[in-house]
Structures are given as structure tokens and as C-alpha cells.
Amino acid sequence: MGLFGLGKAKNKENEGMELLVTTHDNIEQSILESILEGEGIPYMINDRGSGGAMRIIAGYSVMGTDIYVPTEMLAQA
């Protein structure tokens, strides 16, 4: 486990998924989500550390947001 929950330990939710990128602002995240949706690539987002609470309070996460894609689609993504 990393400091403040920022480790890259995989959990049950993201088995079969690989980290594509970690974004640090809402605009970058929105652009990447739009591209993935346009290409038909499924994805999962996961706020790092306490980022989920930060997103609710401040409207964005300063901790970063990880975007995962299926392992077999990583090269395409």
C-alpha cells in the first residue's frame, strides 16, 4: 500500500484492466473519456487516494484520476 492510498495495488474491481493514464484535471479527463467512447473502448475511472471526496467538495481531484482499459485493448487505447 502506498502513501495515502496512492499505491498501484490492483483490487478485485480492476482485474483484467490496465492503467492507461493518470489525469490531473477535468479537461484532460473529459477529452480522454470522449476519445475512448468514440473508439468504443470500455474504460474505468478511479480517483486516487482521497480524490473522490476532493472531487465532491472542490469539483476536481488534486490527487489525480486513473483511467483503466481492458488489458487486450491497451495498445489500441
pLDDT means over runs of 10, the chain (77 residues): 48 74 88 95 84 67 86 90
Q: What is the pLDDT of residue 40?
A: 94
H/E element holding 52? Answer: helix 51-58
Q: What is the pLDDT of residue 25?
A: 82
Residue 50's Cβ-count burial label (10 Å; 0-12, 13-18, 19+) is: middle
What are the grid coordinates assigned to 30, written together?
473529459
Letter for the amino acid at 22?
A: T
Q: What is the pLDDT of residue 5?
A: 47
**pTM for the structure as a whole:** 0.72
